[in-house]
Amino acid sequence: MAGSNPNAKPMNLTLKVWRQQNRNTQGNIVDYQVRDISPDMSFLEMLDVLNEDLLRKGDEPVAFDHDCREGICGSCNLFINGRAHGPEPGTTTCQLHMRKFSDGDTITIEPWRAEAFPVNKDLSVDRSAFDRIIQAGGYVSVNTGGVPDANEIPIPKSIADQAFDAATCIGCGACVAACKNASAMLFVSAKVSQLALLPQGQVERKTRVENMIAQMDKEGFGACTNIGSCAAECPVGISLENIAILNREFLAAKATSNNLA
Amino acid sequence: MSWLSNALTSSIGRKIIMAVTGLFLCSFLVVHLVGNLQLFKNDGGAAFNIYSHFMGTNPVIRTLEIGLLLGFAFHIYEAVALTGKNRKARGGQGYVANHIEQNSPWQSRNMGLLGTIILIFLLVHLYNFFYRARFGDLDPDINNNADLYTLVVSSFHQWWYVLLYVLAQVALCYHLIHGFKSAFQSLGLTHRKYTPLVTYAGYAFAVLVCAGFAAMPLYFFFQ
């Protein structure tokens, strides 16, 4: 293996994994042993080893979500040892490596918990509530046509950077999973402030924040109490400042929009 | 006006009410503390009793008192409503292992607990001083004002009463450390230049106000 550490000793670990047949059944924690885990493996590769063992024994493998395994898709969402995406800050589960653990460790692995995020099976969670919030207003409407010139709309670098920072949200849901109130405010605020900062977002600025907050409440997410767990656990470092921007946008929209509902 | 009630019952709307009432109650703390500093005047309570007579009879103060009651009522009502909504959002099955203490401060997660301690204190406090000054039959002092001062001094000679007051001020201090800056965040009043100042001002406000209040029972107990 290129880049691997020849001195790294393989590890034996005890895993406490949440197993649940489907949405309608009760789940429980099941203990598993995994052996000869390389410290160079990612956390998901370690779970792949577990699943291969389970398949060999004729047991059902543990269901977990994953896609790009590059830290950008937001699929691999696991609550590891009491922390969203594990104890390493600024990291998705796929980018968490086994070198962060020690031989003989016990690792508890659970799915995201929130009323709005039902467990599909084992560690796999339904996050379609996020999709419906984005559908409610997290977009800009543009007429299709020829490709516009790159510099047709001037945007100052500082504004572009701030909008881009908000746009890096990968929608993984760690904010909801970590929040004491299962609030989706950090997720919603990232999209609202990204688009409120940019000229393209101005047309739908007021309806966007009103509709996204209405959908957020409808999905059953909690309210923000500014404890800051979301930003601390966010793998891409979305700042709490976005929530203040969201509050400001909401207040301004409610006070001045033409929407009487 | 359904747009207004919809806005104020949304999750952000409720937080805005929490913030506005919270900051309003902070302003009350300042007035209450400054007025009560007269307890430290060494005149056998004459100045304090004049002040308490004024606060109990002045029509402007009596009108503001209704506003204060509403401030408390809305702050408590929204706290209960938000706690219920947030518990429901968290869902039935909790985490088997949850180390939330590694990513957030204790006082921020326990505002409801701190608020409940403050409320219990407030009820005892209101019964012992406010109720008895307004509706009780306190003896008159040398200026023929109701002698609230003597009641305050005798109350603060009981150790358990002093203990309750000091513990309540510790709870209030932690409540304010989170609440003060949180109110600005909820109202969207953040700026890279001023938010650090708001945070420090919140700390200073919490410590100064609570130390001031706690000094009163301690002063009379150890006098």
Interface confidence (ipTM) of the complex: 0.92
Question: Exposed/middle/buried for B34, CB within 10 Å: 0-12, 13-18, 19+?
Answer: exposed
Kindly state whether residues A67 and A161 are assigned to the same domain: no
pLDDT by position in tens, chain B (length 223): 789 999 999 999 999 999 999 999 999 999 999 999 999 999 999 999 999 999 999 999 999 999 999 999 999 999 999 999 999 999 989 999 999 999 999 999 999 999 999 999 999 999 999 998 888 888 988 888 899 999 999 999 999 999 999 999 999 999 999 999 999 999 999 999 999 999 999 999 999 999 999 999 999 999 8
User: Nearest Cβ partner of A222 from B3, B6, B86?
Assistant: B86
Chain B's closest residue to A181, CA to CA, is B86
How distant is the Cα of B3 from the closest Cα of chain A, in angstroms?
5
Question: Exposed/middle/buried for B77, CB within 10 Å: 0-12, 13-18, 19+?
Answer: middle
User: Nearest Cβ partner of A182 from B2, B82, B91?
Assistant: B91
User: Nearest Cβ partner of A245 from B13, B104, B188?
Assistant: B188
Structural contact between residues A67 and A126, judged by C-beta atoms closer than 8 angstroms: no
Q: Do B108 and A87 touch (CB under 8 A)?
A: no
A128-135 vs A185-197: helix crossing angle, rounded to 10: 30
pLDDT at A5 (0 to 100): 64
pLDDT at A1 (0 to 100): 45
What's the number of domains chain B is made of?
1
Q: Do B188 and A247 touch (CB under 8 A)?
A: yes
How distant is the Cα of A192 from the closest Cα of chain B, in angstroms?
13
Q: B124-177: per-residue pLDDT in tens?
A: 999 999 998 888 888 988 888 899 999 999 999 999 999 999 999 999 999 999
Structural contact between residues A189 and A241, judged by C-beta atoms closer than 8 angstroms: no
Pick from A104, A120, A136: which residue ends a domain? A120
Pick from A99, A120, A141: which residue ends a domain? A120
Pick from A54, A86, A120: which residue ends a domain? A120
Rounded to whole angstroms, how far apart are CA atoms A57 and A30? 16
Q: Do A114 and B86 touch (CB under 8 A)?
A: no
A23 contacts on B by Cβ (under 8 Å): none
Of residues A62, A68, A57, A69, the one with CA closest to residue A47: A62
Q: Do A114 and B89 touch (CB under 8 A)?
A: yes
Q: Residue A140 sits in a domain of what CATH number?
A: 1.10.1060.10
Structure letter (DSSP) for residue B129: I
Residues 6+ apart with CB under 8 A from A212: A133, A134, A136, A137, A138, A188, A191, A192
The answer to whether position A1 is within a domain reads no
Kindly state whether residues A92 and A150 are assigned to the same domain: no
The answer to whether position A4 is within a domain reads no
Rounded to whole angstroms, how far apart are CA atoms A94 and A43? 6
Rounded to whole angstroms, how far apart are CA atoms A12 and A106? 9
Residues 6+ apart with CB under 8 A from A138: A191, A192, A195, A208, A212
Q: Do A247 and B12 touch (CB under 8 A)?
A: yes
The range of the structural domain enclosing residue A98 comes to 11-120
Chain A's closest residue to B105, CA to CA, is A227
pLDDT by position in tens, chain A (length 261): 445 566 678 999 999 999 999 999 999 999 999 999 999 999 999 999 999 999 999 999 999 999 999 999 999 999 999 999 999 999 999 999 999 999 999 999 999 999 999 999 999 999 999 999 999 999 999 888 888 888 888 999 999 999 999 999 999 999 999 999 999 999 999 999 999 999 999 999 999 999 999 999 999 999 999 999 999 999 999 999 999 999 999 999 999 999 988
Q: Do B12 and A27 touch (CB under 8 A)?
A: no
B93 contacts on A by Cβ (under 8 Å): 27, 113
User: Nearest Cβ partner of A223 from B85, B93, B97?
Assistant: B85
Question: Exposed/middle/buried for B178, CB within 10 Å: 0-12, 13-18, 19+?
Answer: buried
pLDDT at B220 (0 to 100): 96
The answer to whether position B196 is within a domain reads yes
Q: Do A178 and B90 touch (CB under 8 A)?
A: no
